[in-house]
Structure 1
């Protein structure tokens, strides 16, 4: 009888919205190796300015596991956990060097930003500012935190550059 040893690898765990910290704490209590990259971002509240320690990838944490069925189930039973990210064949591991590089980036005193939250063609709405209420199509990134939104009216296009923090993706 041969014994199969499973290899510990990093996987991305999708969480419920705003449950990253709860999932992180829950997995730590279960003695799992878990990583939640966080960065400092300015608060979006109008009444006061402060810096918040927010997840770099909202809705995701990294967990190291060998995907033993009991371990996999234990991870998914964590409050706020949704699923391990993968394809039709199951969860797909993240290269160890990518996670290590991410840990170094987050630990440094340099500004770290994730890519745009929007994909070309996403329908978006402007929430704040002089263009509040505008519904359009995300066109592309225009530098530090600025995006271009396009509206199609009367067969012609009108575009505006707005602050990415003031825009939300429509379902």
Structure 2
């Protein structure tokens, strides 16, 4: 399977100007949770429809059949940052790659976070994705059958687990989860 060239990480290119805003005051940022391995396909569709987006990517160089091959992968797999108004949101919501939309309550704080990620990527240094939650953090489940449940994140060789404690009995129970199912409580 051939390695595709780097997709444009942002459209329009001027989206990062003027503190990550648009001239259109009705446009807001949102996060699209997308199907596995479909971030670039969704970015191509948004580019064709001229809908604003930001997909931070990082270069990964590997040796494949004695050749150096550079591929580009999303820095945050499963997510694409969307910028548009309600009309654009209606178009995006009907795309099959989109699983759900995560609304952003504090637009200013979110724009600042995106600007920092953009500067980090474009500094020319190797970027490594980091897990968002440290083991031992109190978390709330935001996806799946356990939505709303609060517990402690535990990480071992097998992966992540959500631990629910019964303080009264000094015991607990745990269940296997994925890191994208929880958020800091």
| TM-score range normalised by the length of the shorter chain | 0.5 to 0.7
Q: Which residue of 2 aligns with 1:74?
A: 91
CA distance, structure 2, for counterparts of residue 114 and residue 29 of structure 1: 28
Summarize the Cα distance change of 1:119–1:44 in structure 2 as closer, same or farther, 3 Å threshold: farther
| d(CA) in 2 for partners of 1:113, 1:76 | 30
2:44 aligned to 17, 22, 25, which one? 25
User: What displacement does 1:97 show?
Assistant: 2.1
Distance 1:45-1:138 versus aligned 2 partners, 3 A rule = farther
Counterpart mapping for 1:1-171 below 5 A? 7-43=26-62, 50-66=69-85, 68=86, 70-85=87-102, 91-93=103-105, 94=107, 95-116=110-131, 120=135, 121-122=154-155, 124=157, 136=158
Structure with larger Rg: 1
Asked if the contact 1:26/1:79 (under 8 Å) is kept, the reply is no
The root-mean-square deviation of aligned C-alpha atoms, in Å, is: 3.4
Structure 1 runs not aligned, ≥5 long:
86-90, 125-135, 140-168
Q: Any conservation in 2 of the 1:27–1:78 contact (CA below 8 Å)? A: no
Deviations 1:26-55 (A, max 9, x none): 111111111110011244979865332110
Q: Can you list the C-alpha shifts for 1:11-31, whole angstroms capped at 9, x where unaligned?
A: 111110000001111111111
Which whole-Å CA distance do the structure 1 matches of 2:126 and 2:75 have between them? Answer: 11
- 1:117, 1:49 → 2: CA distance? 30
> 1:10 and 1:44, CA in 2 relative to 1: closer, same or farther beyond 3 A?
farther
| Cα offset, 1:96, TM superposition | 1.6
TM-score for the superposition, normalised by structure 2 = 0.53
- Alpha-carbon contact 2:51-2:88 (below 8 Å) kept: no
